Amino acid sequence: MSRNHRKRRFQRPAPGTAPGTLAVPEGSQQPKITLIGYDPTNLEEYSAENVDQLKPLLQKWPTVWINVDGLGSTDVISALGKMFGLHLLALEDVTHLGQRPKAEQYENNVFITTQMIHARAEGLETEQISIFIGKNFVLTFQERAGDCFDPVRKRLKAAGVPRQHFMHSDYLAYTLLDAIIDEYFPILEMFGDRLDLIEDQVVSHPERSVIGDTHQVKRELQQMRRNLWPMREMISNFSSTSFVDEKNRPYLRDCSDHVIQALDMLETFRERASGLVDIYLSSISAHMNEIMKVLTIIATIFMPLSFIASLYGMNFDTTSPWNMPELHWRYGYLYSLGLMALSIIAMLIYFRRKGWLGVVRQPEDKTDR
Amino acid sequence: MSRNHRKRRFQRPAPGTAPGTLAVPEGSQQPKITLIGYDPTNLEEYSAENVDQLKPLLQKWPTVWINVDGLGSTDVISALGKMFGLHLLALEDVTHLGQRPKAEQYENNVFITTQMIHARAEGLETEQISIFIGKNFVLTFQERAGDCFDPVRKRLKAAGVPRQHFMHSDYLAYTLLDAIIDEYFPILEMFGDRLDLIEDQVVSHPERSVIGDTHQVKRELQQMRRNLWPMREMISNFSSTSFVDEKNRPYLRDCSDHVIQALDMLETFRERASGLVDIYLSSISAHMNEIMKVLTIIATIFMPLSFIASLYGMNFDTTSPWNMPELHWRYGYLYSLGLMALSIIAMLIYFRRKGWLGVVRQPEDKTDR
Amino acid sequence: MSRNHRKRRFQRPAPGTAPGTLAVPEGSQQPKITLIGYDPTNLEEYSAENVDQLKPLLQKWPTVWINVDGLGSTDVISALGKMFGLHLLALEDVTHLGQRPKAEQYENNVFITTQMIHARAEGLETEQISIFIGKNFVLTFQERAGDCFDPVRKRLKAAGVPRQHFMHSDYLAYTLLDAIIDEYFPILEMFGDRLDLIEDQVVSHPERSVIGDTHQVKRELQQMRRNLWPMREMISNFSSTSFVDEKNRPYLRDCSDHVIQALDMLETFRERASGLVDIYLSSISAHMNEIMKVLTIIATIFMPLSFIASLYGMNFDTTSPWNMPELHWRYGYLYSLGLMALSIIAMLIYFRRKGWLGVVRQPEDKTDR
Amino acid sequence: MSRNHRKRRFQRPAPGTAPGTLAVPEGSQQPKITLIGYDPTNLEEYSAENVDQLKPLLQKWPTVWINVDGLGSTDVISALGKMFGLHLLALEDVTHLGQRPKAEQYENNVFITTQMIHARAEGLETEQISIFIGKNFVLTFQERAGDCFDPVRKRLKAAGVPRQHFMHSDYLAYTLLDAIIDEYFPILEMFGDRLDLIEDQVVSHPERSVIGDTHQVKRELQQMRRNLWPMREMISNFSSTSFVDEKNRPYLRDCSDHVIQALDMLETFRERASGLVDIYLSSISAHMNEIMKVLTIIATIFMPLSFIASLYGMNFDTTSPWNMPELHWRYGYLYSLGLMALSIIAMLIYFRRKGWLGVVRQPEDKTDR
Amino acid sequence: MSRNHRKRRFQRPAPGTAPGTLAVPEGSQQPKITLIGYDPTNLEEYSAENVDQLKPLLQKWPTVWINVDGLGSTDVISALGKMFGLHLLALEDVTHLGQRPKAEQYENNVFITTQMIHARAEGLETEQISIFIGKNFVLTFQERAGDCFDPVRKRLKAAGVPRQHFMHSDYLAYTLLDAIIDEYFPILEMFGDRLDLIEDQVVSHPERSVIGDTHQVKRELQQMRRNLWPMREMISNFSSTSFVDEKNRPYLRDCSDHVIQALDMLETFRERASGLVDIYLSSISAHMNEIMKVLTIIATIFMPLSFIASLYGMNFDTTSPWNMPELHWRYGYLYSLGLMALSIIAMLIYFRRKGWLGVVRQPEDKTDR
């Protein structure tokens, strides 16, 4: 998710604004109203230009689903609010983006607000959806056109027994919620793949980018968690309202199970991400150890050698028999080379006893497993 | 927040002081009393010199809001306490700064104490506000003049239907609480910006100041959390008192949702701040690794070279054919340079196999993403 | 557990699929139906080719256990669903792998889904099992042939008093759950052994692979925890349904105790695994310290020596009495060697005072304890 | 708190001792009994030599406060126990130091045990106080003479309306508890100052002592938390007994608020202390980085220089034209110096491109903020 | 605790074993049965060879305590089970070691299983004890002979009023539980001493063994916590059964307080142990810093010196006036020594400005405080 997008999510009115004040969120699209009316045998889809066109349709169909794409007009929203008797506070929440998912029961409807998630090419995109459920209508507000409800529309259009279910508005609301939650799963699996990738990288060649990537993953998981966590309560609150039929409760319980399953996956991924930082840091440390060993071995071998060579480079006046008689020995050079060889051997024995020589190369073989 | 200011917040009386003892907080301003009286059609604003002037106004107006700026006089506070029948313990809490937000029901009023937050040029400023809500009055005590209630006053002055709401003192109290909570959001967003800044810095050029800054952010977030966390319970306690009308409860529920949302943001920021320390430490480690690599490569290349040069600087008596015959070779010098070149090539091959040469520069390219 | 296997566990239908849609999980086996019918005195085992063959057997035996190995045919599953009046949502969960363990009461049966664990040569294997408990039948669906129920079958076949217990389907269900949970214990003990092994290794010769191994152990423990944790609630929910006889509740309570005991062990192992990372990191640090000490001692001893040797290798014109008169001293060479010896002694005294010389070897003796 | 003192706090009888066994805590003072008897108009203070002297006073005064300083005589304690009908288990707790704060209701009294804290010159001192509250008496046992109740005694002696409150023993008990809790606040502020000090030090010149100091602070905070945490429950339990008058409950609620506030401060300090370890470790790392940079820069500059100098110190026989012709060049020396200058310049450019030269000094300027 | 012992604790039957199957734990002793029968005035102790000998004694004494040391015979256990009407599941738990402490009410007895702890020379030893409490008997099963109940036996034998208490079997059970819990305290204090020791060591001379020791302490604390934690629930469950007399409940409440106190101590020790790892790691880091400083100072001082010496060891043909004229200067040698002295002074000034010279020794003085 791009930084700009993330910031926009917490959009709040100026402090002290009167409750129930509607405000067009920045960069909103003009609302596009569609209505699907149906009875057990028939179904028709309409596209309304203004709110007044909806009235006759409401009377014609026993159950309707009105969908509004785009929050760009407060007139449309308050007109719909008046038509369906919606509470001002609920309408205010529709236009304030970044709501925490919740379900609230009002006198003649239930208000649900939640966050959809879409995987776009440029990253994750969160979209707020508000759902009003009345006895014979479902009214949804989305930020933009394009949603995850096409399979729901298809099932709705399929006549016969399945349509019977949809005659109760709560079942329609359930299918919408189910579609919203189901969209989280492929995205969660995407995170699993990303973590696999980082994990492979951290083991084979740990680079600094690993930490940044892991931090990014953790942030996005944290954001998804903020969306998913309150959904459990949202569904349980919705389920306990009088607008939900007893025989539809198992469906909502199933829906709630899905949320818990998604949170389970999330938690696993968060633990894995945290573990990655440990692995990275220990890889870095092990790497540093290896570098230091090479340096120490080289320095420890060559410093005595260089010293011996320097020693016999001294210019003492060799007319005195006490001054560097080695220089005049027949095999003085070989003797000095022998000294050096001895020093190397002594060092190698020391290193082998410390177990340093073997370990230098071992770790790389190990990590291939 | 400056260190001095922070300390002052926990201002407590000497141990063993009798309960209900009023004490002027250090450096308090003289109280300035203003009263707004209103009925559905009229509204008037008064500035009172002393408490006695308030009496006739209380009888004149069905609902009044008395605001006291400055806690510098225990006389004024206890006079108001007597006039409205306030409990001594509640009055004591008014004059003891650094209260934890809470709502307490007394016989004929509700006492709420909470903390306002203001973004001043020199940092965050916390100000304690105490609110007494009776059947037909709201009485507020603030530490200083200047508050976030101007939008509330404006809405109060707007005649007509909105005024109707305000005829119940609980609605007025709600709008005050709402204004207090809403002031937290721009400040929270400020923290988001600060974290973005530190995050950018930690990735591009990690410096030691990052840790201090992050620590500072965490401390201020922790302080805000201490203010916000008990507000949920405060609102829920207030909401369940008999002074709140059933139809105003949705407003307080909305208010509580805002607190939860603010706490959600806070939690996200705290997690991000914690992650920053990890990133910083791993950046430092990676940086160290890079430095050590440079040192090791340089030492490993030049130590053998220096040794070879020292070797042929030895002064063995070359009259013996066994002593450094290389010195007399026609191409002895070239031979020694060749030895050195070989040594360099061997080292470079070793480093390349370790993957050290490529990685030295790679991390900097990576972090630009 | 192989990576491929792990991923497959979260198998979900495409978002928006109608609830109750059955889908054959990838790579499922064709279902193999077996039926065990019994009364207090007789027991017979059948292998059915299709669902219709089961009908007469259901009427013949007072209690039956039908087991289906393989989820490869939706026809079989939905036929069984119709025969026993199973809810569509429960059937859907049978075919969706990776379910969180749960127990749900429907009108005329209880639905339990949980995860079995098998220790295979190539790693851990999780297998989903779904259990339907009705008044006089138990119906189980497993992913594959091969299970941990052979001891249950044996006890079932043992005539006499033990058979009496099994006449209630809830007791049969309890023994199945008990067998499933008991299979977790040997696997948990395996983890204890693995941790012992890593612990030994981290103390004797800490290698980078330790972190990877520990991470792997933590991940697998986390996965087992995800399976075990919800089992407590599952058993308690099952126990409180009307399908469980009062006098069988102690058995389920015992079963729940086993789950808690397994979780206890798990938690201990997780703590131990976390502690291992600390030990590894501190081992690495201690090791690094040791390496650096060797380097520093070597460098600190040889650098002054080399300097002295270089000093007397200078070519100043010794015709001037001020230029390196030492070179002409009779014992100049011995004098220079004496200088070097002095420098070595000074350094050794310094190191001893720092306590470095002794500590270099000490840690290895210590860790043998 | 000194180590010796700390250990003594958990003083328990030998395992298997009969319940209700009184044992004189090691090093206890002989008990000193004082009694304050009062009615609304009169108050008198007595110092009793033995328990029998108290009897007539109990009948003379409607309300009495008996205070015992020193637990050195089991006779006195059991005599008082018999006189007031105290439960043996409660008396046992009086003599066993290191009790967890708690309130327990017995048939005709409430037993409260809690820990006072005193700031002494040599460190913190914890003292156990046991309080028995009956209908018309308060009986307190302290470890030693000297307490924080002088302000309570003063208020008690002030005649008039305040005395009315004290006629109920529960109000006297409340003022004692309030005085005990209020003594925690100045000590908590002391911790804030200590943390400020360590924080300043860790930023300006991080030394190893910082970790020890922080560990010490955390331990003492943890100990205070162990005392404070159960006080909430203690007060709430006391408040719900029949010995507390309905109209005194707000006072205890206020008392409980103070405990919560103290715990809030404690929690903040604990978070700050934890953060300090992070800052210290990152300071150390940053410092190490700086040292390594200096070493690397020096080594990287001088190693090539030394090599060049060694190179031209070789003794090849220059009669061959191929052997070190540079030695005979007219400007050979300048040429070699030029080579060295080039090498230095190349290294400096490399370091500047890495950004190492500037950063060496930067951190120290930064940390002054 | 030795590794072998630890593993044995989780002893479970093979998966799928029938519930209520008794299995002799590996290496069990043959059961030794003792019976103490008593009435208010008399008490007698018997040692039974087989279960049948107990029958007449049960009828002779109003209250009996039967103790079985050793679980080596399933016959004895099931015979006792039949005699007292014990549930098969409870008997199964008696023979399965490593039980989580719990109390379960059956029809005519309460079953308690818990873990005793003994400090043996070779480490901690855990022993499982199972207690059955009926109306007029207490039946205990221990793993081995030797227990912590001798003080209980002594008090039991003391005739008079104390014996009255024991006429109710619940009071006898309470004293047993109390003795078991009291045995934890001296062992907890032992841990405090061990932590003090490690703490002293980590500050004075941090060695790698510290981490291993701390890990060991944490593991053993974790194990004790696993035993203690469920005891609270165990006591509360036991206390709420019908087998506990109302007037004995305060005793069990006291017992529960002791468990909480032990858990409090445990938690403190765990926090201290965690803090030790931090101290150790920062000590290591500080130590490394010191080593690196020594290396850097030595290298930085000697590298320029060696370079200057090498420089004047070059063999340029000094017949050219441009080639190393310094060699022919009268004071050339002194000049070169002067150069070296200048370089040393410059470096010392640099180090002093960095504050490195002073700090090298400082930390050791600091840690003595």
Integer Rg of chain E from CA: 36
Give E41's Cβ-side CA count (13 Å radius). 0
The CA-to-CA distance between both ends of chain B, in Å, stands at 34
**Better-predicted residue by pLDDT, D256 or C148:** D256
Best residue of C280, C320, C328 to probe chain E, by most E CBs closer than 10 Å: C320
Of C92, C82, C127, give the one whose Cα is nearest residue A253. Answer: C92
Residues 6+ apart with CB under 8 A from A294: A360, B296, B300
Q: Which CATH class is domain D1-165?
A: alpha beta
For CA atoms E309, E311, E315, E318, the dihedral sign is negative
| Options 1.20.1560.10, 2.40.100.10, 1.10.3720.10, 1.20.58.340; CATH of B286-366 | 1.20.58.340
A289-366 CATH fold: Methane Monooxygenase Hydroxylase; Chain G, domain 1 (1.20.58)
How far A23 CA lies from chain C's nearest CA (Å)?
A: 32
How much is the average pLDDT of E185-200? Answer: 90
Residue A201: per-residue pLDDT? 84
Residue of B nearest to A286 (CA): B289
Residue D129 DSSP label: E
Cβ pair A108, A89 in contact under 8 A: no
How much is the average pLDDT of D360-368? Answer: 37
Q: Where are the domains of chain D?
A: 1-165, 285-366
Tell me the pLDDT tens digit for each residue of B155-179: 888 766 667 888 889 999 999 999 9
Q: Mean pLDDT of all residues in chain E?
A: 86
Cβ-based contacts of A186 with chain C (< 8 Å) = 15
Does the distance separating the beta carbons of D312 and E307 come in below 8 Å?
Answer: no
Residue D1: per-residue pLDDT? 37
Token code pair at residue E299: 């290298």
Of D273, D265, D133, give the one whose Cα is nearest residue D199. Answer: D273
Does the distance separating the beta carbons of E366 and D104 come in below 8 Å?
Answer: no
**Better-predicted residue by pLDDT, C283 or B130:** B130
Of E68, E67, E35, E82, give the one whose Cα is nearest residue E54. Answer: E35
Three-state secondary structure string covering chain E = CCHHHHHHCCCCCCCCCCCCCCCCCCCCCCCEEEEEEECCCCEEEEEECCHHHHHHHHHHCCEEEEEEECCCCHHHHHHHHHHHCCCHHHHHHHHCCCCCCEEEECCCCEEEEEEEEEEECCEEEEEEEEEEECCCEEEEEECCCCCCCHHHHHHHHCCCHHHHHHCCHHHHHHHHHHHHHHCHHHHHHHHHHHHHHHHHHHHHCCCCHHHHHHHHHHHHHHHHHHHHHHHHHHHHHHHCCCCCCHHHHHHHHHHHHHHHHHHHHHHHHHHHHHHHHHHHHHHHHHHHHHHHHHHHHHHHHHHHHHHHHHHCCCCCCCCCCCCCHHHHCCCHHHHHHHHHHHHHHHHHHHHHHHCHHHHCCHHHHHCCC
CATH superfamily name and code, B1-149: CorA soluble domain-like (3.30.460.20)
Cβ-based contacts of E253 with chain D (< 8 Å) = 104
Exposure of D222 by Cβ count < 10 A (0-12 exposed, 13-18 middle, 19+ buried)? middle
CB nearest to C299's CB, from A303, A311, A313: A303
Does the distance separating the beta carbons of B287 and D369 come in below 8 Å?
Answer: no
Cβ-based contacts of C153 with chain E (< 8 Å) = none
CATH number of C288-366: 1.20.58.340
How far D210 CA lies from chain B's nearest CA (Å)?
A: 16
Residue A35: per-residue pLDDT? 95
Q: A–B: how many Cβ contacts below 8 A?
A: 181
How much of chain A, in percent, has pLDDT values that exceed 90?
A: 45
Q: Is the pLDDT of residue E363 over 50?
A: no
Q: Is the pLDDT of residue C130 over 90?
A: yes
Q: Is residue C120 classed as helix, strand or coil in its secondary structure? A: strand
How much is the average pLDDT of D142-151? Answer: 87
Token code pair at residue E45: 């102790």
A1-156 CATH fold: Beta Polymerase; domain 2 (3.30.460)
Cβ pair A251, A144 in contact under 8 A: no
Residue C187: per-residue pLDDT? 92
pLDDT band for position E210 (cuts 50, 70, 90): confident
Cβ pair A175, A154 in contact under 8 A: no
Residue A363: per-residue pLDDT? 38
Residue C140: per-residue pLDDT? 96
Residue D124: per-residue pLDDT? 84
Does the distance separating the beta carbons of C284 and A282 come in below 8 Å?
Answer: yes
pLDDT band for position D10 (cuts 50, 70, 90): low
Per DSSP bridges, beta strands D32-38 and C102-105 are unpaired
Q: Is the pLDDT of residue C122 over 50?
A: yes
CA of E243: how far to CAs of B336, E139, E234, E246, in Å? 98, 14, 14, 9
pLDDT band for position C201 (cuts 50, 70, 90): confident
Residue A339: per-residue pLDDT? 93
Cβ pair D35, D57 in contact under 8 A: yes
CA angle D227, D230, D233 (to 5 degrees): 150
Residue B124: per-residue pLDDT? 84
Tell me the pLDDT tens digit for each residue of E270-305: 988 888 888 888 888 888 888 888 899 999 999 999
Question: Rounded CA gap, D137 and D135, in Å?
Answer: 6
Of D86, D55, D93, give the one whose Cα is nearest residue D71. Answer: D93
Question: Rounded CA gap, E352 and D305, in Å?
Answer: 26
Q: Mean pLDDT of all residues in chain A?
A: 86
pLDDT band for position E360 (cuts 50, 70, 90): very low
Residue D275: per-residue pLDDT? 85
Cβ-based contacts of E362 with chain C (< 8 Å) = none
CA of D40: how far to CAs of D37, D59, D61, D132, in Å? 11, 16, 10, 22
Q: Is the pLDDT of residue A366 over 60?
A: no
Cβ-based contacts of E294 with chain C (< 8 Å) = 296, 300
How much is the average pLDDT of A250-271? Answer: 91
Give partners of E (≥3 CB pairs < 8 A).
C, D
D285-366 CATH fold: Methane Monooxygenase Hydroxylase; Chain G, domain 1 (1.20.58)
Give me the residues of chain B with pLDDT under 50, please.
Answer: 1-8, 359-369
User: What's the maximum distance between 2 C-alpha atoms anywhere in chain D?
Assistant: 127
Exposure of D231 by Cβ count < 10 A (0-12 exposed, 13-18 middle, 19+ buried)? buried
Residue A2: per-residue pLDDT? 39
Please give the helix or strand (H or E) that residue C169 lies within, else none.
helix C169-182
Beta pairing partners, E137: E64
Residue C103: per-residue pLDDT? 93
Sheet hosting strand D137-142, strand order edge to edge: D43-48, D32-38, D63-69, D137-142, D123-133, D110-120, D102-105
Backbone torsions φ then ψ of A254, nearest 5 degrees:
-60, -40
Of B217, E106, A190, give the one whose Cα is nearest residue C253. Answer: E106
Q: Which range has highest mean pLDDT (D283-287, E237-241, E315-319, E358-362)?
A: E237-241
Of D261, D267, D265, D235, give the one whose Cα is nearest residue D249. Answer: D235
Query: pTM of the predicted model, to two decimals?
Result: 0.80
Residue C281: per-residue pLDDT? 83
CB nearest to A215's CB, from B183, B275, B281: B275
Between D19-23, E14-18, E147-151, E223-227, the lowest mean confidence (pLDDT) is in E14-18
Residue C24: per-residue pLDDT? 83
Does the distance separating the beta carbons of C285 and E284 come in below 8 Å?
Answer: yes
Cβ pair B124, B220 in contact under 8 A: yes
Token code pair at residue E310: 């090498």
How much is the average pLDDT of C345-369? Answer: 64
Give partners of D (≥3 CB pairs < 8 A).
B, E
Residues 6+ apart with CB under 8 A from C353: none
How much is the average pLDDT of E340-362? Answer: 79
Cβ pair D71, D141 in contact under 8 A: yes
Residues 6+ apart with CB under 8 A from E57: E35, E37, E46, E48, E64
Question: Rounded CA gap, D285 and A48, in Å?
Answer: 66
Tell me the pLDDT tens digit for each residue of A88-102: 889 999 998 888 999
Question: Rounded CA gap, A87 and A94, in Å?
Answer: 11
Give how far the C-alpha of residue C311 lies from the chain's centroid of Cα atoms, to the nearest Å.
65
Per CATH, the architecture of E1-152 is what? 2-Layer Sandwich (3.30)
Q: Is the pLDDT of residue C109 over 60?
A: yes
**Better-predicted residue by pLDDT, A251 or E10:** A251
DSSP D65-116: EEEEE----HHHHHHHHHHHT--HHHHHHHHSSSPPPEEEE-SS-EEEEEEE
CB nearest to C207's CB, from A189, A261, A362: A362
Best residue of A211, A277, A282, A362 to probe chain B, by most B CBs closer than 10 Å: A211
Question: Rounded CA gap, B232 and B257, in Å?
Answer: 9
**Better-predicted residue by pLDDT, B160 or D207:** D207
How far A189 CA lies from chain B's nearest CA (Å)?
A: 23
Cβ pair B186, B119 in contact under 8 A: yes
Question: Rounded CA gap, C13 and A178, in Å?
Answer: 12
For CA atoms A293, A295, A299, A301, the dihedral sign is positive
Residue C31 DSSP label: P
Strands (DSSP E) along chain B, which ranges? Answer: 32-38, 43-48, 63-69, 102-105, 110-120, 123-133, 137-142
How much is the average pLDDT of C158-185? Answer: 87
Question: Rounded CA gap, E212 and E208, in Å?
Answer: 7
How far A9 CA lies from chain C's nearest CA (Å)?
A: 25
ipTM of the complex: 0.74
pLDDT band for position A358 (cuts 50, 70, 90): low
Question: Rounded CA gap, C212 and E95, in Å?
Answer: 39
Q: Render the burial of C105-135: b for 16+ CB within 10 Å, e for the rest.
A: bbeebbbbbbbbbeeeeeebbbbbbbbbbbe
**Better-predicted residue by pLDDT, C366 or C272:** C272
